[in-house]
Structure 1
Amino acid sequence: MSPDFHIPYVLPTALLAIALVFKFPTLLRAWRDPDVRATMILLACATAVLVVITPVNIHRLNVWTGIPNIAAPWAYSFLTAFCATGLTMIMRWREPPSARRHRRMIAIYWIYAGIIAALWGTFLLADVPEPRIYDLDTYYATTLWMREHTLLYLLAHMVSSLIAAYMLWKWFPQVTHRWLKTGVVFLQLGYASGLVFDAAKLIAVGARWTGNNLDWLSTKAAPPFALLEAILVALGFIVPQAAPFLQKWGREQAEYLRLRPLWRTVRVVQPAAATVRIGFWAPLDLRLTQRQQRIHDALRFLAPYFDPDGYHDAYTAALAENSEQRARGIAGAIAIQAATDAYRRKAPHTTSDQPPQIGPSVTDHLEAIGRALYRSRALDRIRSQVTSTGSVTAHA
């Protein structure tokens, strides 16, 4: 490969590193979960491969260690561990826990651990004094032990890709979960990219054995497919786990924000007991639960100050020009604002010993009320209509 030819290593490496960082808190919370641990190992290996094979890092390893081409066994060891973890992850997805599955997974780890040991053994036996940053595989394609070193990692990678692709192909028709199906598609594309990488490398190495030169297949055509495989396979394993979480987080975040104006409106009501302060870094579901509870508690205290007739009049006026859901939100917002004003004045709407509860016509539409509170002009218009209608009725 020409020294001027650079593959964009930074972006995929950064994406994998970010995924690793975001997954780390999950590991701390659920480190006993084998699926979580396996995902972390897979992400770590994929990230490590991309870090090591970056040309500048290959040069640094050569200089720091004083051992030419030491990056090769490092990168290929991480790649081999990546292959083993990928195969066992697919087995975890496809098969329920069993002694047979456990034995097969242990066998895979031992086989690939043996391959890693053989990679280091063949490298130490090989005579590779000339540092090669871009064309190591083809430059030493006919060198004793380095030839075996190269074939070992390529064949191990190819076999794992073929087995993984076959298992996924057989399993795909049975997958019904949307995000899991998406993950399987990413994995199939990723392993297909890996097979293209292997084929290009093997053809280039084989060409050297026959006295020909097809190095461009190894140095220019193959590396982009290696990067693509790392990204797609990592996405394939991350998406089924991360997507449902992100979907739930998005719903909760939207609800949390929609309830904010309503929460601010009812903060005038003093709680019966001091509330526990939860910081910004607390889990979102906990903060959402506290906000919902705070609103429901405030509505309970506002019940004596709530005017059902005022709510009904506002709802009737709003329904004339809005959908039912939006009209419920507008009417609830107006009625709650009026109740908080009455609360400040200590002027309850009823003096009954058993104050009425604010009913489901309000409590079932809290998000709509929160959205309506963002639209002060619409509230003022409906409030004016209700006031003018009430004045006309009273005068009549």
Structure 2
Amino acid sequence: MTAEPSSVGFYVYGIMLLLVCAMKFPALLRRRHDTLLRAACLLLFAAGCLMLFAAPASITALNRITGITNFAAPVVYVTTTAFSGASLLLMVNWRPAPPERTRRVSRLCVTVYGLAILAVAVLFWAGTTPTEQPTLFDVHYATTPFIREMIVVYLVAQGVAMAIASALCLRWSGEVRGSLRAGLRILAPAYLLIVCYVVLRLTAVAARWTGHDLDFLVDRVSPLFSAPACVLGALGFFVPLAGPRVAQTARAVRELWRLAPLWRVLRDIPTPGAIRAPLPWWRTPPAVLLTGRRTALYDALLALTPHYDPAVREAALRTALRNGDDEDRAAAVADSAMVLAARERQRAGPGQPVLPTGTTVPRTRDLTALSRSLASSVVHDLRDHRAPQQKAAHHE
């Protein structure tokens, strides 16, 4: 069978959801009692099956293969009800609450939606649907005994679950921050769009009960809500999962940028005994690169220990305090000046006497503050003042 153009999106999205579900299956086997993971896997599986079964080409194929007119209708409705229950179950287990309360509500959710699924199957078996209706099934059989009740059961079950899930998302989003809050704020309108979808279809069904024709709400208006709801739903679940990693990467990149001045000063300092594994930036995660950069900077500061001159630090500290810096800022500036002077002494080679090591080390352990203070006018003045001295010593 060749999929219709309108079915391709259903199949692509459905297969992606099932693949993600399959990727989580090994974790589910290891953590069988993890109710949140089970709810997530159930949601992914139900959503993937719903996309595959709801594709127009699949509806036609299911009816033809089984030989049962409109057999695709209860299949889609059962899957829709399962997806609705799984969505509500996931929200119940995702939101922090006392364990006993979570278990009680979860059992209630499973029982109610399990009965709804059973009701859809039984009512379809009890009713008759002689005319195939791939797109207007809800309104065409809105007055048919048993089928009418089946339609109402699946629509009400879906609408109630989505409304509760949306309310839970909005309420919970006020209690959290960061990417989780953003994800919940995205999920809430996604669920509301599905509620609008249900209301439109129920309105068209109720119109048939009163002898009116609002069928266009089913085949032309309500489908417009499906794509935005799917996109927002996927984004809402993706943001809390990817948000912390993205934020961590952004922080690492920002920290690498702040350490760049200090790295340019110390990257050529030999560090005997230290192991520096090459970390190419294009294929190294920023967090790993940051750890390696910090380690290398600490190794370089330690290697400069024999060349630290406390007199340089004290002079820079007095100058920084005189210029109006607070004690922490002045201490960082003084350490930067001492590190810069030690680097120049180390570069000068064997001709420079080694200072007594003692306990003279930079007192500032914050590498970011040390790097930022390199831009201080005190450090620049020291660099400009020592440059002619270094040249003169070199000529002598």
With structure 2 as the length reference, what TM-score do the two structures score? 0.68
The aligned runs of 1:10-49 (5 Å cut-off) are 13=13, 17=17, 31=31, 33-49=34-50
For the pair 1:190 / 2:194, whether they are aligned, the reply is no
**How far does the alpha carbon of each residue in 1:267-291 deviate from its partner, in whole angstroms, 9 at most, with x for none?**
6534525467889888764553343
Deviation at 1:105, TM superposition (A): 0.7
Matched residue, 1:304: 306
Residue 140 of structure 1 contacts residue 146 of structure 1 at CA under 8 Å; is this kept in 2? Answer: yes
* CA–CA separation in structure 2 for the residues paired with 1:270 and 1:104: 61
CA–CA separation in structure 2 for the residues paired with 1:199 and 1:137: 13
Q: Which amino acid is the alignment partner of residue 297 of structure 1?
A: D
- What is the distance in 2 between the residues matched to 1:197 and 1:12? 22
* Contact 1:39–1:237 (CA under 8 A) maintained in structure 2: no
CA contact (8 A) 2:142 2:208 kept: yes
What's the counterpart of residue 288 of structure 1?
290
Note the C-alpha offset of 1:101. Answer: 2.9
More relative contact order, 1 or 2 (CA 8 Å, 6+ apart): 1
Instruction: Provide the rounded CA distance (Å) in 1 between the counterparts of 2:338 and 2:252.
Output: 25
Q: When the two structures are aligned, how many residues end up with a matched partner?
A: 378
1:17-42 deviation per Cα after TM superposition (whole angstroms, max 9, x unaligned):
59958x95996899565434434543
> Structure 1 residues 245 and 80, CA, compared in 2 at 3 Å: closer, same or farther?
farther
Q: Secondary structure at the match of 1:350?
A: coil
Report what 2:216 is aligned to. 216
Determine the structure 2 residue equivalent to 1:89.
90
SS at 1:191 equivalent: helix
State the 1:199 CA deviation. 1.3
Counterpart for residue 204 of structure 1: 204
Q: Which residue of 2 aligns with 1:177?
A: 176
Contact 1:49–1:75 (8 Å) recurs in 2: yes
Greater CA drift, 44-53 or 193-202: 44-53
Larger Cα-atom Rg: 2
Cα pair 1:62 1:71 within 8 Å, conserved: yes
Mean Cα displacement is larger for which, 118-127 or 220-229?
118-127
Read off the aligned partner of 1:352 and give its amino acid letter. Answer: P
User: Residue type matched to 1:136 in 2?
Assistant: F
Summarize deviations over 1:209-235 as a string: whole Å, max 9, x none: 444321111112212334444444555
Shift of 1:200: 0.6
- Contact residue 197 and residue 222 of structure 1 kept, 8 A: yes
Amino acid of the structure 1 residue aligned with 2:215: D
Query: TM-score, normalized by length of structure 1?
Result: 0.68
Indicate conservation of the 8 Å contact 1:258/1:371, yes or no: no
**Structure 1's 390 and 45: CA in aligned 2 closer, same or farther, altered over 3 A?**
farther
Distance 1:189 1:347 in 2: 72
What amino acid is the match of 2:293?
R
Q: Equivalent residues in 2 for 1:93-112 (5 A)?
A: 96-112=97-113
Give me the whole-angstrom Cα distance separating, in 2, the residues matched to 1:81 and 1:73.
12
Structure 1: how far apart are the matches of 2:390 and 2:275? 42
Residue by residue over 1:214-258, the C-alpha shift from the partner in whole angstroms, topping out at 9 and shown as x without a partner, is 111111221233444444455555545553443234213432465
Output one character per residue of 1:29-74: Cα deviation in whole Å (capped at 9) or x when no partner: 9956543443454345445434543435545655677766554444
Contact 2:309 2:355 in 1 (8 A): no
Show the 5 A alignment for 1:97-176. Answer: 97-123=98-124, 127-128=128-129, 132-165=133-166, 171=171, 175-176=174-175
For residues 392 and 281 of structure 1, the distance between their equivalents in structure 2, rounded to whole angstroms, comes to: 41
Q: Which moved more, 1:281-290 or 1:202-211?
A: 281-290
Unaligned runs of 5+ residues in structure 2 are none
Contact preservation (8 Å) 2:308, 2:338: no
Note the aligned Cα RMSD (angstroms). 5.4
Unpaired runs of 5+ residues, structure 1, are none
Retained in 1: the 8 A contact 2:141–2:148?
yes
Alignment partners' CA distance in 1, 2:332 and 2:46:
54
Letter in 2 for 1:339: R
Output the CA distance in 1 between the equivalents of 2:70 and 2:289.
52
The answer to whether the 8 A contact 2:138-2:205 is kept is yes
Q: Distance in 1 between matches of 2:284 and 2:109?
A: 40
Aligned to 2:304, the other structure's residue is in SS state helix
CA deviation string 1:100-126 (max 9, x = no partner): 431221221132123223334444555
Distance in structure 2 (CA, Å) of the matches to 1:286 and 1:208: 63
Q: What corresponds to 2:366 in structure 1? A: 364
Structure 1 contact 26–36 (Cα < 8 Å) conserved: no
- Give me the whole-angstrom Cα distance separating, in 2, the residues matched to 1:29 and 1:305: 59
Amino acid at match of 1:101: T
Q: What's the offset of the Cα at 1:157?
A: 0.9
For 1:79, the aligned partner's letter is T
In the alignment, residue 112 of structure 2 is paired with which amino acid? I
Distance 1:98 1:260, change over 3 A: same
Residues 92 and 348 of structure 1: CA distance in aligned 2, closer, same or farther (over 3 Å)? farther
- Secondary structure at the aligned position of 1:102 is classed as helix
SS in structure 2 at match of 1:352 = coil
State the shift of 1:160 in Å. Answer: 1.9
CA 1:218–1:44: 2 relative to 1, 3 Å:
same
Whether the aligned pair in 2 keeps the contact of 1:61 and 1:71 (CA below 8 Å) is yes
- Matches of 2:223 and 2:312, distance apart in 1: 70
SS in 2 for 1:176: coil
For 1:218, give the aligned amino acid. Answer: V
Instruction: Return the offset for 1:81.
Output: 2.7
Per the alignment, do residues 244 and 105 of structure 1 end up closer, same or farther by CA in structure 2, a change over 3 Å counting? same
Q: Which amino acid aligns with 1:134?
A: T
Residues 106-152 of structure 1 show CA distances to partners (whole Å, capped at 9, x for unaligned) of 22113212322333444455555655443332234344544333222
CA 1:331/1:100 → structure 2, altered by over 3 Å: closer, same or farther? closer
Q: 1:302 to 1:136 in 2, by over 3 A?
A: farther
User: C-alpha displacement at 1:201, in angstroms?
Assistant: 0.3
